[in-house]
């Protein structure tokens, strides 16, 4: 008889995270939390669904995210909503809405969660992807930029990830960027016929966005475009020199790249990316910069900000071979359900003492349970049958050497502790 039950699959570009990968994800996230905490950052958790206008106003109406990639919809109440495409705007919205922008004019926050963009799925780029990010609000000094950058460098060192390059730029401010934009528009208009449709549209709306273009033909002409560094005002020069000086002091190497402009409208001055040559075209694993006007733009006080977001899927591609840091597991091979029922307190006490215990409740044969233990990769199996239970002991077997010994159940915790 034909089975007509429909089998469901994940939505294109949205993937499950399964064991053992999920355990490594947890280790990486936990490492990030610990590091951010040492810098004084506290977690904010925001909704996945936000008002669409939040991102239209902050990310930018002419950005690829808003024009092509956002999952936006009108709900039954007539509200225009979307699945969040990035985290910074949500954090700033929460900062203002909660009143913390007034009560805590200097604040450090981090966030973690899924983001959504309708892009073409490929290695390191999914439609549902995960980010961890930090935001430092209320300080416009270059040392704030340095602290933010150094926190990710700290994380890379802790995860033992190498071959990552910091690329650094300053994209000017409201004082010096208008003149640069005017000259850039003139340059792009003189080559308009050879530019792609996206770049032609960007010329009048946001010319610097042309540097985000991946079209090779456009890239040839952008090489000779005006350089933003020739237009920096005195304050932008001073700020950027302060950033570089701080990074030099911390011995964090970087290269200057004037094509780093970031794909979001709210950035000013410092812009940066951490890149690697191990991921093909999706080479940025973390990116960010300064956004001094964003809090005011969303109705809050005129406070500066700087931060970045880490693409976890890309980061995980670099730590995929990292050893699994889960605690040592022990497998209880129990001969029969009756024995299992008498062992639940023993096992509960071991778990209370933070031992990781795997078992199948005595529902399988000893041979099947040993196969299961082998598949799990545990090093030690604790065997308990009716005879062992009567004597108050367990047989502890080393899966590698096949050696075994009897240990009294009341002493089992101490014995296992010595094996960890």
pLDDT, tens digit (0-9, with 9 covering 90-100), for 246-296: 999 999 999 999 988 876 678 899 999 999 988 877 789 999 999 999 999
Residue 152 tokens, joined: 């990710």
Domain co-membership, 310 together with 333: no
For residue 108, being part of any structural domain is answered with yes
The pLDDT of residue 280 is: 77
Neighbours of 244 (CB within 10 A): 17
Cα 313 to Cα 16, 32, 43, 71, 124: the distances in Å are 12, 14, 20, 20, 6
Q: Which of 319, 341, 375 is the last residue of a domain?
A: 319
Q: What is the mean pLDDT of residues 37-54?
A: 96
For residue 14, being part of any structural domain is answered with no
Domain co-membership, 296 together with 348: no
CATH number at residue 269: 3.30.930.10
Place of tokens 């004019």: 105
- Mean pLDDT of the chain, nearest integer: 91
Q: Report the distance separating Cα 349 and Cα 410, nearest Å.
A: 11
Residue 95 tokens, joined: 């900062």
Neighbours of 119 (CB within 10 A): 16
pLDDT band at 307 (very low <50, low <70, confident <90, very high): very high
Domain co-membership, 337 together with 291: no
CATH number at residue 358: 3.40.50.800
The pLDDT of residue 263 is: 61
Q: Is the peptide bond preceding residue 247 cis, with omega within 30 degrees of 0?
A: no
The pLDDT of residue 326 is: 54
pLDDT greater than 80 at residue 3: no
For residue 305, being part of any structural domain is answered with yes
Domain co-membership, 103 together with 66: yes
The pLDDT of residue 308 is: 97
DSSP 3-state assignment of 191? coil
- Whether the CB-CB separation of 309 and 332 falls below 8 Å is answered with no
pLDDT greater than 60 at residue 325: no
Q: What is the mean pLDDT of residues 362-368?
A: 93
Decide the pairing of beta strands 128-137 and 164-170: unpaired
- Whether the CB-CB separation of 86 and 59 falls below 8 Å is answered with yes
For residue 39, being part of any structural domain is answered with yes
Q: Report the distance separating Cα 172 and Cα 235, nearest Å.
A: 9
Domain co-membership, 269 together with 402: no
pLDDT greater than 60 at residue 324: no
User: Closest Cα partner for 235 from 168, 181, 294, 173?
Assistant: 173
Across 352-370, b (16+ Cβ under 10 Å) vs e yields eeebebebeebeeeeeebb
Domain co-membership, 363 together with 397: yes
Domain co-membership, 35 together with 100: yes
Q: Report the distance separating Cα 336 and Cα 386, nearest Å.
A: 8
pLDDT greater than 70 at residue 320: no
Q: What is the mean pLDDT of residues 120-132?
A: 90
For residue 239, being part of any structural domain is answered with yes
For residue 185, being part of any structural domain is answered with no
Domain co-membership, 101 together with 137: yes
Backbone angles phi, psi at 41, to 5 degrees: -85, 140
Domain co-membership, 38 together with 139: yes
Q: What is the mean pLDDT of residues 311-329?
A: 75
The pLDDT of residue 216 is: 77
Q: What is the pLDDT of residues 63-100, one digit of tens each?
A: 778 888 999 999 999 999 999 999 999 999 999 999 99
The pLDDT of residue 396 is: 96
Q: Report the distance separating Cα 177 and Cα 231, nearest Å.
A: 7
Q: Which of 292, 319, 346 is the last residue of a domain?
A: 319
DSSP 3-state assignment of 318? helix
Three state DSSP letters for 335-367: CCHHHHHHHHHHHHHHHHCCCEEEECCCCCCHH
For residue 82, being part of any structural domain is answered with yes
The separation between CA 237 and the C-alpha centre of its own chain, rounded to angstroms, equals: 31
Domain co-membership, 72 together with 111: yes
Q: Report the distance separating Cα 409 and Cα 393, nearest Å.
A: 5
Domain co-membership, 239 together with 97: yes
Domain co-membership, 338 together with 310: no
Neighbours of 215 (CB within 10 A): 14
User: Closest Cα partner for 380 from 413, 418, 332?
Assistant: 332
Query: How many structural domains does the chain have?
Result: 2
User: Closest Cα partner for 85 from 108, 119, 62?
Assistant: 119
Neighbours of 121 (CB within 10 A): 15
The pLDDT of residue 122 is: 83
% of the chain beyond a pLDDT of 70: 96
Q: Which of 271, 300, 319 is the last residue of a domain?
A: 319
Residue 197 or 351, more confident:
351
Of 260-264, 305-309, 345-349, the poorest mean pLDDT is in: 260-264
For residue 211, being part of any structural domain is answered with no
pLDDT greater than 60 at residue 139: yes
Residue 84: its H or E element: none
Domain that holds residue 266: 21-176+232-319
Residues in the chain, how many? 420
pLDDT greater than 60 at residue 1: no
Q: Report the distance separating Cα 171 and Cα 271, nearest Å.
A: 7
């Amino acid at each position: 008889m034909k089975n007509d039950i429909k089998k469901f699959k994940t939505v294109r570009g949205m993937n499950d995270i399964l064991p053992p990968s999920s355990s490594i994800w947890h280790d990486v996230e936990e490492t990030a939390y610990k590091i951010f905490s040492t810098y004084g950052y506290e977690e904010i958790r925001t909704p996945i669904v936000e008002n669409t206008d939040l991102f239209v106003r902050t990310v930018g109406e002419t950005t690829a995210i808003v024009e092509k990639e956002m999952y936006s919809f009108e709900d039954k109440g007539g509200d225009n909503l979307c699945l969040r495409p990035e985290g910074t705007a949500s954090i700033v919205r929460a900062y203002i809405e909660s009143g913390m922008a007034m009560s805590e004019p200097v604040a450090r926050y981090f966030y973690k969660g899924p983001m959504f963009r309708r892009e073409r799925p490929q290695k390191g780029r999914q439609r549902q992807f995960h980010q961890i990010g930090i935001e430092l609000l209320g300080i416009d000094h270059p040392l704030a930029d340095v602290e933010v950058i150094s926190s990710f460098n700290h994380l890379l060192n802790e995860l033992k990830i190498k071959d990552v390059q910091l690329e650094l730029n300053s994209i000017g401010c409201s004082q010096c960027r208008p003149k640069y934009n005017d000259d850039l528009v003139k340059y792009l208009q003189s080559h308009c016929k050879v530019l792609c449709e996206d770049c032609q549209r960007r010329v009048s709306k946001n010319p610097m966005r042309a540097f985000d273009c991946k079209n090779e033909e456009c890239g040839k002409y952008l090489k000779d475009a005006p350089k933003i560094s020739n237009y920096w005002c005195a304050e932008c020069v001073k700020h950027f020199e302060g950033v570089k000086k701080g990074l030099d002091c911390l011995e964090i190497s970087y290269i200057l790249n004037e094509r780093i402009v970031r794909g979001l409208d709210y950035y000013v001055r410092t812009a940066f990316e951490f890149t690697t040559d191990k991921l093909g075209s999706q080479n940025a694993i973390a990116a960010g910069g300064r956004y001094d006007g964003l809090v005011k733009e969303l109705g809050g006080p005129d406070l500066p900000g700087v931060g970045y977001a880490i693409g976890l899927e890309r980061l995980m591609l670099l730590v995929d071979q990292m050893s699994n840091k889960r605690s040592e597991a022990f497998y209880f091979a129990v001969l029969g359900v009756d024995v299992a029922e008498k062992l639940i307190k023993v096992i509960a006490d071991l778990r209370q003492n933070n031992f990781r215990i795997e078992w199948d409740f005595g529902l399988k044969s000893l041979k099947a349970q040993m196969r299961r233990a082998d598949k799990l990769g545990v090093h030690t199996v604790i065997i308990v049958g009716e005879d062992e239970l009567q004597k108050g002991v367990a047989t502890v077997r080393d899966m590698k050497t096949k050696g075994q010994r009897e240990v009294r159940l009341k002493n089992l915790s101490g014995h296992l502790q010595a094996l960890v």
